[in-house]
Amino acid sequence: MNSRRIRLPIHEATLILVIVIAYLVLNGTSSGTLLSEAAFIGLLGYLSLSIVIGFSQLTVLAVGQLNLAVGPMGGTVCAVAAVLMAKYQLPVPIALIILIVLAVALGAVNGLLVNLTELNSFIITLATMTVFVGVQYGLVGTSTVSSYSAALKGFGSTNIGGVPLVFLGVLLFAGALSVFYRKTRLGRRSLATGANSQGAFLLGIVNKRSVLVAHTLSGLCVGVAALLVMTSASGINRSVGGDWLLLSFAAPIIGGIALSGGRAPVLGTLLAATLLRLIDVARSTYALDPSWVNFVIGGVVLVTVALSELRRRTADRRVRIG
């Protein structure tokens, strides 16, 4: 029976349930402040950034690759755009276009290096990460570059009826990404590479192209994330991007990506990013130590990973019965 109904997979449904409960509990214990419009807009603004950071890792994980450099890449392109606007008085749109193009190019460089050396993407992006950390520091040093358009900085809080414009933009981006993996030939082929590269090779799929596309797409996501930073941060310094790595892995993993690749749970990543954002909100609501966030997220990821084999086994059984 091939049902054409749109069904919500059990994993995503669970995530939604957890998010709703967590939100209600948080809202209840903080005497309703979370539902106030200002808090809600702030939450969605930060959430937009978390989601796109999750996507920047999702796109590579789906092909069985990974990108350690997401944070420093984002920090570097932010620094370039900020310096161009502040020091060289470049108009905002041109600087932002340069930012996106540069991010895509850096992603492509990662992909090319992986293809050229035929090595694990981990070690390649570890090396490029180190380089980008250096470049970002070289650009901004210990200062904060902030003398650029105030309209750009305030754009992040522009909203329609309590929903920030940037959040709507991110939802559109997520939709496009989902369509890419579900409907386009390039997307399907990338997933085939991620699921089984030898099988994909035998089907005539050029795995190196999938890898290049994945890293370039990751670069694009980093660019979008950097754009979001530019529209909300009050300035760019060396710490921008420093805390992206954990989030970038946690969101897709909790979102249900098969860790060996071959799936791209866009919705799951989006929901997981929401959950992770709520953990941060909980921390600030209860005035806990910031280390709790790392601790809790690391623990959740570890448990998800440990349970993934169990989940795979039950899934196998279900397939065999059905």
Partner 1 sequence: MAGLGLAINARTLINRSNAQLWVLASLVVLIWFAFTLVDPNFANSVFVTYPLLRDAATFTVVGLAQMTALSIGHMNLAVGRMAAVAAMVAGISFQFFGASLLVGALLGIAAAALLGVLTGVIIVVSNVNSFIVTLAMDFLLVGFVALVYTRLTTAAAFTVKPDGMKYLGRASLADICAGPVCGPRFMPMLLIPALVIVGYMIWIYRRSRFGRELIAIGNSMRASAAAAIPTRRRVIQAHALSAALAGAAGIMVVISNGAATAAIGSEFMIPSFLGPLLGGTSLLGGAVSVIGTIFGTLLTFVLRSGLTTHGVGLEALNISLGVLLLLVLSVQSFSRIRGQMRMAKARMVRVRASAAGSRR
Which CB atom, from 198 or from 291, has the smaller least distance to partner 1?
Answer: 291
Query: Measured from the CB atom, is 86 or 127 closer to partner 1?
Result: 127
Helix H segments across the chain? 10-29, 37-61, 70-88, 92-117, 121-140, 150-154, 165-183, 185-195, 197-202, 207-232, 244-254, 266-285, 291-321
Cβ closest to partner 1, residue 158 vs residue 239: 239
Nearest one of 307, 238, 247, 308 to 272, comparing CA atoms: 247
Binding test (CB under 8 A) with partner 1, winner from 14, 137, 159, 209: 137
Judged by CB under 8 A, the stretch of 22-30, 94-102, 212-220, 287-295 that binds partner 1 is: 287-295
In the stretch 66-85, what mask flags binding to partner 1 with x, by CB under 8 A? x-------------------
Q: Where does residue 144 rank: exposed (0-12), middle (13-18), buried (19+ CB within 10 A)?
A: middle
Residue with Cβ nearer partner 1 (84 or 253): 253
Q: Does 144 bind partner 1 (CB under 8 A)?
A: no
In whole angstroms, give the CA distance from residue 140 to residue 224: 20
Q: How many CB atoms lie within 10 A of CB 2?
A: 3
Of the candidate spans 22-30, 185-193, 202-210, 244-252, the one that interacts with partner 1 by CB under 8 A turns out to be 244-252
Among residues 182 and 317, whose Cβ is nearest to partner 1? 317
- Which residues between 111 and 130 bind partner 1 (CB under 8 A)? 113, 116-120, 122-124, 126-130
DSSP string computed for 67-94: -TTHHHHHHHHHHHHHHHHHHH---HHH
User: With CB under 8 A as the contact rule, which of the stretches 30-38, 80-88, 243-251, 269-277 interacts with partner 1?
Assistant: 243-251
CB 269 within 8 A of CB 251: yes
Count CB-CB contacts under 10 A for residue 188. 13
Residues at the contact surface with partner 1, assessed by CB under 8 A: 66, 113, 116-120, 122-124, 126-135, 137-138, 246, 249-250, 253, 259-260, 289-299, 301-302, 305-309
